[in-house]
Amino acid sequence: MTFDPFVVAVALLYGLMFGSFANVCIYRLPRDKSIVWPRSACPGCGREIAWYDNFPVLSFLILLGRCRFCRIPISPRYPFVELTVGTLAALAFARHPGQWMPGISEALFGWLLVILIFTDLDHQILPDLITLGGTLAGLALAFGRGGSGPRDAVIGVFAGGGIIWVIRRSYEFIRKREGMGFGDVKMLAMIGAFQGWHGVVVSLVLGSLAGAIVGLVLFARGKSMRTTQLPFGVFLGLGALFGEFAGEKILRIYGL
């Protein structure tokens, strides 16, 4: 079955709006601020952003990337996040034509991962509201799909959280200091809820590989590997996103 362009276009529009909300979560959750109140405001002049200046991507282009009042530059990361979430939502429904539950599940999963990637990148924080809430959402959507989905999701939660917990405890025992945060444990459990244990394996392998490459680059540039903390949630999130679209092919290559 070929995808419906209208459905994909609607998914893109909704994804852009959820991308705008993702920016709110990325900024406010690490600061323990409410994500629903007050309304968004310019960090320069403090003026609330009017509804007509709050259209995803479009408002940024119309305002030429600056606040309407004080003209302070607006980070291009805001439209980048909106476009990323919108694109992921469109791809989710394009990949699952006529299947609403898999499309919704994959779009939501992408939205959650984008938030976690950027909160970890900025603050090395993986908010419980996203990881634990995402785990529950992944389990609920898996039961809605039926078939082997619920079983795979439950196994994925325990496999994801359990693997990272063992690695974390082993590192602490050997090095006598904390390596991974407990947020990584909860994040991989969330990935397992959406992708099952196969997704956990792909995300962990790809994330570890990406982290190792970045670590070697930092080491080559004279950064100390003992003191430099890498936001592993960023690499896990990127691994999970890549695994969402190429994970099945990778697993088939290795016969899993």
pLDDT tens-place string over residues 85-125 = 999 999 999 998 888 899 999 999 999 999 999 999 999 99
Global pTM reads: 0.89
Q: Is the model's pLDDT at 56 over the cut of 90?
A: yes
- What does the pLDDT average to over 60-76? 93
Q: Is the model's pLDDT at 230 over the cut of 90?
A: no
Q: Is the model's pLDDT at 64 over the cut of 70?
A: yes
pLDDT band at 78 (very low <50, low <70, confident <90, very high): very high
Residues 6+ apart with CB under 8 A from 116: 126, 127, 130, 131, 187, 233, 237
pLDDT tens-place string over residues 126-160 = 999 999 999 999 999 998 765 568 899 999 999 98
Q: Which of 179, 201, 204 is closest to 254 using CA atoms? A: 201
What's the CA angle centered on 101, arms 252 and 87, to 5 degrees? 75
- What pLDDT shows up at residue 42? 87
